Amino acid sequence: MIEIFSKNVSGMTEKLSRSTIAIAGCGGIGSNVAVSLVRAGIGKLIIADMDIIEASNLNRQYFFIEEIGKTKVLTLKSRLENINPDCEIISYHKELTRDDVSGIFSGADIMIEAFDKAESKQWLIEEWGFLYPDKPIISGNGLSGCGNFESIKIRQVGNIYFCGDGVTSFEIGLCSARVAIVSNIQANLAIELIMNSK
């Protein structure tokens, strides 16, 4: 299936194909990040989520109306395999805990944090940073509302990268374009970090 990547940046396909990225959460951030990474040529994804697809997800998540009621992680796995069957997709339909960071994500080179709740974001960042201080974690942080594009930034604290405006809360509403912008900033950053690694 190498022809899929014939338009890739020189050297990208080979390097990404040897890399593994974990995605904790398969909703608005996670589903869009996963699609971008598989389209770029990542070799292996570890994805995990406990949720079922709902109608309200369709305004920003990479799912379709006939998939309502199905598990997000297994539906996403099938979709990703239809884009690039050579990408190894390891999926977990479960509620994630701190123990899962070492239990199911240990083989990843980079972690994508794609949770909704602030407390879940916090424990994942803390646990990943404690266990793997030399491995990056990329967090979506402030992607609600619409417009205000210039407020979206990447903030780095050691090996933690925060993508978004860092302020807005999902209670104000979510717009597909803004969620996708932040998701693709996360995916692009992960690709850049891999390409710049030794």
Domain CATH code at residue 139: 3.40.50.720
Q: Is residue 2 part of a domain?
A: no
The predicted model gives 101-128 an average pLDDT of: 95
Any idea what DSSP says for residue 116? S
Q: What is the pLDDT of residue 38?
A: 97
- Count of domains observed in the chain: 1
Phi-psi region of 90 (alpha: psi -120 to 50; beta: other; left: phi over 0): beta
Work out the pLDDT band at 20, boundaries 50, 70, 90: very high
Range of the domain at 138: 9-196
Dist CA 29 CA 24 (whole Å): 10
Once rounded to an integer, what is the mean pLDDT over residues 90-108? Answer: 96
Q: Does any domain span residue 4?
A: no
Residue 54 lies in a domain: yes
Mean pLDDT of 11-33: 96
1 lies in a domain?
A: no
CB atoms within 10 A of CB 172: 10
Q: Is residue 3 part of a domain?
A: no
Average pLDDT along the chain: 94
Q: Per residue in 52-87, pLDDT tens?
A: 999 999 999 999 999 999 999 999 999 999 999 999
Report yes or no on 84 lying in a domain: yes
Read off the pTM. Answer: 0.95
Residue 2 confidence class, pLDDT cut points 50, 70, 90: low
Instruction: Tell me if 140 sits within 8 A of 113, measured CB to CB.
Output: yes
Given a contact cutoff of 8 angstroms between Cβ atoms, the answer to whether 163 and 154 are in contact is yes
- Output the six-digit token pair for 157: 């604290």
pLDDT at 170 over 90: no
Strand partners for 145 = 174
Q: Are 163 and 185 in contact (CB under 8 A)?
A: yes
The yes-or-no verdict on residue 1 having pLDDT over 60 is no
Is residue 100, in this structure, part of any structural domain at all? yes
Classified as helix, coil or strand, 163 is: strand
CA distance 81 to 88: 8
